[in-house]
Structure 1
Amino acid sequence: MSRPTTPADLGEDPLALERQVCFALSVASRNVIALYRPLLEPMRLTHPQYLVMLALWERTPRSVKDLSAVLHAEPATLSPLLKRLESVGYLTRGRSNADERLLAVDLTEQGRELRAEAEKIPHRIVERLGMELSELEQLNSVLTRVIAATRRTDLDTALPE
């Protein structure tokens, strides 16, 4: 049962572009990802591939199903990323020994070694943004709550009335 809420006061013009959360998130996302591009290019990574590598540096091997869940991405979206990462020698894909129904993704030695170079990236991004680390941590926390809220909303809309 949901609790009753009072409508939020959205001001005189609820459609003002600068007040839209979707607009701010879209522009911020594009701009932040653009900061990563020159740092990732020497590593032969795109930003989506970098996210896959981050998940694999946390734990490997991982199933495609697990990667899909942790990255909030469809397996069909991950497939071309994984193929590209395999073609540059950063990972391997094969059937899981524990469960042959699962496709396991594992880092190669080259993929493991790439982590040392990647460890420089977060520091350089913080420098380029010119913001306090505490602000960025707070932003990350708020965005994580937004992600959770949108996932709850997805579940709510999927339920029959």
Structure 2
Amino acid sequence: MNSVNDFLSLDKQLCFAIYEASSQFTKLYTNVLHPFGITYPQYLVLLALWEKDGLSAKELGNRLNLGTGTLTPMIKRMEVNNWVKKERSTTDERRVSIFLQPKALREKDAINQSIAKAIDTCNIELKEYEALMKQLKMLREKLELRHEKA
């Protein structure tokens, strides 16, 4: 068997393995978050705002690596459903900050407990979790560095 062709097979592609794992995580989170009426990307918005409420739309987009074309309609839907509210700055009308609504604060523990239970069913040990996080961070940094050089 030709080793180059073997390496080029779909099952040997790191990008495909990451894609498949990401897809499985998205399905897991989608199922857990459905009863709360939020999507996985909306959950990421909540996570960022639970860490630091009142981020500007630009800061939130940077934190989540999302463009305004994706973030703006998502924030509008979350606003309609009383998860967040937008406030325009009184000193700079170009700056819009996103704040958590009481619903987001009230549901935080229930959402996080549901996520924790679902993750627990994956049987990922703490050391394994930490090692995966470290490896993925290193991979992301290498890819970012490569992108910056290009």
TM-score of the aligned structures, taking structure 1 as reference length: 0.84
Aligned residue pair count: 148
- Provide the rounded CA distance (Å) in 2 between the counterparts of 1:42 and 1:98: 39
Which residue of 1 is the match for residue 65 of structure 2? 72
Which residue of 1 is the match for residue 120 of structure 2? 127
Give the SS at the match of 1:89.
coil
Which residue of 1 is the match for residue 18 of structure 2? 25
Which residue of 2 is the match for residue 92 of structure 1? 85
User: What is the root-mean-square deviation in Å for CA atoms of aligned residues?
Assistant: 1.7
Residues 50/43 of structure 1: CA separation in 2 closer, same or farther (3 Å cut): same
Identify unmatched segments of 5+ residues in structure 1.
1-9
Which residue of 2 is the match for residue 4 of structure 1? none
1:26-76 per-residue CA deviation (whole Å, 9 max, x = no partner) reads 100001111112210111111011001100110110101101111111122
- Provide the rounded CA distance (Å) in 2 between the counterparts of 1:112 and 1:97: 25
TM-score of the aligned structures, taking structure 2 as reference length: 0.90
- Provide the rounded CA distance (Å) in 2 between the counterparts of 1:30 and 1:106: 29
Moved more, 138-147 or 41-50: 138-147
Which residue of 1 is the match for residue 109 of structure 2? 116
- Provide the rounded CA distance (Å) in 1 between the counterparts of 2:113 and 2:24: 19
Moved more, 121-130 or 50-59: 121-130
The structure that is helix-richer by fraction is: 2
Task: Please show how residues 3-22 of structure 1 align to structure 2 within 5 Å.
Answer: 13-22=6-15
Amino acid at match of 2:69: A
Amino acid at match of 1:62: L
